[in-house]
Each structure stands twice: as structure tokens, then as C-alpha cells.
Amino acid sequence: MTPLLSIEHVSKAYDATQALDDVSIEIQPNEFFALLGPSGCGKTTLLRSIAGFEDPDSGAISILGDDGTSTSLLSLPPNKRPVNLMFQSYALFPHMNVRKNIAYGLEREGLSRSEVDARVAEVLETVSLVDKAKARPAQLSGGQRQRVALARAIVKRPRLLLLDEPLSALDRKVRVEMQLELKRLQHEVGITFVVVTHDQEEAMSMADRIAVMHDGRVQQIADPVTLYSRPANVFVADFIGSGTLLPGEVSGDTFSALERRLPCNNASGVHGPAVLMLRPESVRVTPDDSDACLRGSVIETHFYGGSSITAIRVDGVEQPVVARSAGAPRYSMGEEVGLLWDAAEAVVLAVGGSSETPP
Amino acid sequence: MSKVGWLRLPLAVTYAFLYIPIVVLVIMSFNASKTPFVWTGFSTKWYGELLNNELIREGFINTMIVAVSATILATALGTMLAIGIARYFRSAIVEAYSLAPAIIPDLALAIGLLALFSLIGVSLSLVSVLLSHVVFGMAFVAAVVIARLGQTDSSLEEASRDLGASAVSTFFRITLPSIAPAIIAGALLVFTLSLDEFVVAYFTDGPTTPTLPIVIYSMVRFGVTPEINALAALLLLVSFTIVLSAQRITRLTDSV
């Protein structure tokens, strides 16, 4: 499939910091795509480069038109790009009511009054704000403001909608609601969404695919399940979800730590120092340690209602191994236990430098 | 509230201190007596005399010419200066120097302007007063507008561009409305400052076109007449009206 948006080898530096370092991403039509990373990773710079508020030092960004030809975005000013940005602060015009805020972009296109009215009415319906058309932004709640900002952007029917931390200004409760709402709206209007977020749960729950960024570089591009179960490198493994990273070494096709060979999935692609990533739900705790992969003593247990977390200290390993199991904790503090996992669920990652995405 | 009830007394005394001179002035402007500080009865005749006084009428016209033109020029230039500083040259030093003419002593500014005008051969007239008033007026407008721009979210302008508006359209539809209250407040400030400005005008005005404060000064040198009281009362009325309407306008535009 021809990508809707192609970002090719884009770099941008501010003084000493490399905000974007040779970033290449392809975004497909109708995709819900997330740019995920800690603050300062370059995700917002990339978003603003697509919108036209930052000028990359090198590289190309192009978008596929309705007629199937691709247009370079970088030569166009922000007001001529077929993309719209929903700002983190929402940036609603305080001196205009909701209706005028939404109509603003359509009026700039020079559409007839009746068409503007019809499209504004339609989008107000979509975001369920018909009764707030005459209200000023200051009179709205956080969630309503977010919906106005969204309506103002989607009413332009952009090829691509960029959303900068769309949920960060909302309360936790409203945030979960709006995650579902955004996903529903994206389906309904059929616009490609690119969301910037630092919240991995938000990205995982909404996006079809995620690009994890760090220090201006793309670390991995994959769907949420792959990111979680098959991270491409130590950064992604650490950033996404929780788990234990066991330091060790690979020689040939075996991973060993603490002078033991440990079961793992993909050691053949890696050489030398490495870590073994174990997700909590992959680790089984057993009282019988005859066939255990590792042994240790229980140092902490937490009960979360439906499931519980057990932390086990293994001699010679700094980080405790964490295991999640259904129901109440079955082991008490200080108890000696064995740890088991399936080779298929343990991922070996090279230390210092990123290995290829495992198949 | 009841705990601080006794504070009403110092409050009343402070207000009395502030306003008794003004009240005395207004009362004395209706005094029938020719000696200004002895009350002999109520009369509005000094207001009538005021209108017939050729010197005062001329001074008033000169002052209005200067104040209106200075307000227009200083508001336009000061707003442009503020936008330039706030949006393109964010620097504490540039900002501080742009506001200096509003803060430096009038006397220093007046002497400096006089020296400059004679150096470059500008003859002293209402034009030189106008230019001088624009100098400090601009600084006042810039100060007020910069403060307002600091409070407005610059992503509003980006959002406007993003929604398809050109840079010019964005300025008129988004930037200008959001700083309008500050521009109006700045303009009214310049107008009231220019209206009764004496020191700078005294130094930079030509001999044949005195502004109202200069006319008053030369009249007062021969003793305060009830006419001056009437004039001062009228000036007071104008200033009060402007200040109150400025407050009303800024409140109106802020609440929307």
C-alpha cells in the first residue's frame, strides 16, 4: 500500500541538541498512529515539522493527494498544508464562540455561507456539542474544549490530523472516556490520526501502530502487541510496560547469566553482553525448584484484587524479578522459590546498540 | 469583615487626603468672588469667561492637536514595537530599552529632545511637541501591549495559520482582537498624559503656539484666578471620563 505520509531521513538540531536524528516513518491511510516517547525525545518537533511550524534541517516529508500524486509538505507554509493540528492547549480563540471557532477554518477556504453552516452543524452533531454552539470557550469544561478543538480540526476534512498530547489537559477519569471517544471518532470520520503522547497506556490503547522515539531517533515502529512482547532494544523493553531485565551474555545461540543457561527465544541474532527481558505475566513462581530456571527468595508481595505481584530477589542480580499471577499471593516473604518461564516469552536484547526487530 | 472594621477610619482619612484638594478646586471654580480663596457666593461666570478667553481657547486647540495626533501615532508605533519585541526579538535588554522613555525623568527627556532638535535643525513648533510626546507615549503603549501579549497564548496564532489563515489575516482576526483592550488602554493613557504634559512641552514648544498647560502656567505666574479653577475642573472632568471609559472598555472586551 502506498503510504499517506512519508517522512524520510528528517533531521533537526537546535544548537547542541539533536531534536530529530534521521527519522523515517511511513503512515498508512486511515491509520491511528502514535508517536510515543519521554519528553524531549523529538516527538513534538516531528509533529510540528509535519504541520509546518518547524523547519527540518534535512530530509523530506510528503503526503499523498486525492489524485494519487505525492506532494512535498516542506515547501508549503502551514496554511497551505492539507493537514491540521490539534494543539495541546487546544488554542481555542477566546473571543469567538464555539460555532465561530469551528467555522474559522472553513471561512478561510472561502466556502459559501450555507456550506459553512451545514458543515459546522454536522460536526457539532458528531462531537455532541450542538447545545454549546453559542458558548464561549471559557464557559466550557476541559472535555468540551477538547471536543471543540477536535471539531475545529476535523471540519476541515484534512488528509491527516495531528494531535499533540490530546488528553494531557484532562482529568484522569475524563481521559479514559476520551480515549475511547477519539478512537470512535477516528473510525467515524475516516481521517488518518497521528497522536503525540508520552503516556504509553494511552498510545497502546488507541493506536494501530506506534513509533517509539528516544533522543531524536526512532527506536521501533510496531503494533502495540509486538512492542510489548518483542521490543527491538533495551530502551523499548524498559519504556513499554514493566518487567525484569536480566543482564548476561550471549555466546553462540545460548544466553547465560549467573553461570546458567537460561531459556530464551532469539539469542542467535545477538553476540556478547545482552539482557533477557521477562514480562511479569510470563514468569511462574514454583515452590518446587528442581526444574526452575532461577532460584531466589520472595521480598515483596502486592495484592491488586484480581491479580497479585510477587518480587523475588535472585542472588547476583541487582533488580528483583517480578512475577504476576491471578488471585491472591501464594508465597510469603522470605520464602525460597523457583522461577520458570517459556523460552518463547523471554526476549534477548543486545546491550549498547539496537538489534534488529525479531521476527 | 467585622475584624477589619476599624480599618475603615484610616481608609476614609486617606481618601480625604487624596480628594479634598480636588473637591476644594471644584467648589472654588463656582465662586463668585474675584479673589480665588474667599467664598462670596455661587456663580458659573468663570466658566463663561473661560470660553471667551482667547489665550485659553488657542492653548486648548493646540493641546488637542498634539494630544490627538500623538495618541494616533504613539498607539500605532507602540503596538508595532510591542509585537516586534514580544514575537520576534525576545530579549530582556531590548524590552527594557524600549520602555526607558516612559521611566526616565521628564526633565532629562526634555533637555535631550531640545538638544537633538537644535542639533538637526528642527524648528520648535507644535510638530516638535508632537514628536516629543510620541517618544514617551510609544513607550507607554508598548509596555501595556507587551504585558498583554505575554499573557496571550502564541499557539492561538499558530492555530489560525494551521486552519488556513494567512499571516496578515491571522494578525487582524486573532492577534489584534486579543490585544485590543491593551491597545485601547494604552491609547487613552497617552491621550491623558499628553493633555496635561508640561515639562517636555515647555522645552520643545515654539513661542507662538503654546499648549494649554503652558498657557495656564503663564497665567498662574500672575496669581491664581477663579478662571484657572474652572479650567482645572474641566480638565479633571475630561480625565475622569477617559479613565472610567478606559476601565469600562477593557472590562467589556475582557469578559467576552
pLDDT tens per residue, chain A (359 residues)? 788 999 999 999 988 889 999 999 999 999 999 999 998 899 999 999 999 999 999 999 999 988 888 889 999 999 999 999 999 999 999 989 999 999 999 999 999 999 999 999 999 998 889 999 999 999 999 889 999 999 999 999 898 999 999 888 778 877 888 888 888 888 888 889 999 999 998 899 899 999 999 999 999 999 999 999 999 999 999 999 888 898 888 887 888 888 888 888 877 778 888 999 999 999 999 887 677 888 889 999 999 888 899 999 988 888 899 999 888 888 888 888 999 898 888 889 988 654 444 43
Q: Are residues A269 and A204 in the same domain?
A: no
End-to-end CA distance of chain A: 21
CA distance A119 to chain B (A): 15
Q: Which residues of B touch A51 (CB under 8 A)?
A: 162
Cβ–Cβ gap A95/B256 under 8 Å: yes
Is A355 domain-assigned? no
Query: What pLDDT is stored for residue B255 in this prediction?
Result: 43
Q: Which SS3 state, helix, strand or coil, does residue A86 take?
A: strand
pLDDT at B71: 96
With respect to residue A158, please indicate whether it lies within any of the assigned structural domains.
yes
In this structure, chain A runs to a length of: 359
Most A CBs within 10 Å, among B162, B254, B256, to test the A interface = B162
The one-digit pLDDT tens for each residue of chain B (256 residues) are 556 778 889 999 999 999 998 888 888 888 887 776 777 888 888 888 888 888 888 999 999 999 999 999 999 999 999 988 888 777 778 778 878 888 889 899 999 999 999 999 888 888 999 999 999 999 999 998 998 888 888 899 999 999 999 999 999 999 998 898 889 989 998 998 998 898 999 998 888 888 999 988 888 887 777 788 888 888 888 888 888 887 777 665 554 3
Q: Using CA coordinates, name the residue in chain A closest to B253.
A: A95
CA B160-B163-B164 angle, 5° bins: 95
Flag if A104 and B177 touch (Cβ within 8 Å).
Answer: no
Q: How far apart are CA A309 and CA A316, in angstroms?
A: 21
Same domain membership, residue A257 and residue A211: no
Residue A236 lies in a domain: no
- A89–B163 C-beta distance less than 8 A: no
* Cross-chain CB nearest to B163 (options A52, A94, A152): A152
pLDDT at A355: 44
Q: Which member of B156, B164, B169 has the closest CB to residue A91?
A: B156
Partners of residue B155 in chain A, C-beta under 8 Å: 87-89, 91
Write the residue in A52, A53, A105 that is nearest to B163 by C-beta. Answer: A105
Range of the domain at A132: 5-228
Same-domain check for residues A309 and A196: no
Nearest CA of chain A to the CA of B97: how many Å? 27
Task: CATH number of the domain at A204, please.
Answer: 3.40.50.300
Nearest residue in B to A89, CA atom: B155
Strand segments (E) across chain B: none
Considering the domain architecture, whether residues A187 and A308 belong to the same structural domain is answered as no
A207 and A267 within one domain: no
Domain identity same for A152 and A198: yes
Residue A157: name the closest of A84, A85, A86, A98 by CA: A84
Closest Cα in chain B, distance from residue A306 (Å): 44
Which one of A55, A85, A168 makes the best mutation probe of the B interface by having the most chain B beta carbons within 10 Å? A85
> Are residues A243 and A294 in contact, defined by beta-carbon separation less than 8 angstroms?
no
Residues A214, A281 within the same domain? no
For chain A, helix, strand, coil in percent to 5 are 30, 35, 40
User: Which of A216, A215, A164 is CA-nearest to residue A44?
Assistant: A164
Same domain, yes or no: A267 and A340: yes
Q: Select from B155, B169, B178 the Cβ nearest to the Cβ of A94.
A: B178
Residue A233 covered by a domain: no
From A228, A253, A284, give the residue that closes a domain. Answer: A228
The shortest CB-CB distance from B162 to any of A78, A92, A93 is to A78
The number of helices, as runs of H, and strands, as runs of E, in chain B is 12, 0
Looking at residue A268, which CATH number applies to its domain? 2.40.50.140
Q: A94 at the B interface (CB within 8 A)? A: yes
Per the structure, the count of domains in chain A is 2
Q: Is A127 exposed, middle or buried (0-12, 13-18, 19+ CB in 10 A)?
A: buried
Task: State which of A228, A260, A278 marks the end of a domain.
Answer: A228
Residue A359 maps to a domain: no
CB contact under 8 A, A79 and B256: no
Instruction: Find out whether A46 and A57 touch, Cβ atoms under 8 Å.
Output: no
What pLDDT is recorded for position B3?
A: 67
The confidence score (pLDDT) of residue A26 equals 95
Instruction: Show residues of chain A in contact with B178, CB under 8 Å.
Output: 94-95
Is A142 found in the same domain as A115? Answer: yes
Total residue length of chain B:
256
Same domain, A138 and A70: yes
Please report, in angstroms and rounded to a whole number, the separation of the first and last CA atoms in chain B: 32
Chain B positions touching A136 (Cβ under 8 A) are: 256
Q: What is the pTM of this model?
A: 0.78
Pairwise CA distance, residues B64 & B188, whole Å: 13
Sequence ranges of the domains in chain B: 47-255
A51 and A186 co-located in one domain: yes
- Tell me what pLDDT residue A292 has: 81
Instruction: Scan for cell 480515549, then name that residue.
Output: A179
DSSP code of A168? Answer: T
Name the domain boundary from A176, A195, A228: A228
Assess contact for B55 and B227: CB atoms under 8 A: no
**Residue A77 touches chain B, beta carbons under 8 Å:** yes
Task: Tell the CATH superfamily of the B47-255 domain.
Answer: MetI-like (1.10.3720.10)
Q: Which of A203, A89, A107 is nearest to A146 (CA)?
A: A89
Cα dihedral sign, A111-A113-A115-A116: positive
Q: Is B177 close to A95, i.e. CB distance below 8 A?
A: yes
**How many residue contacts between A and B have a Cβ separation below 8 Å?**
58
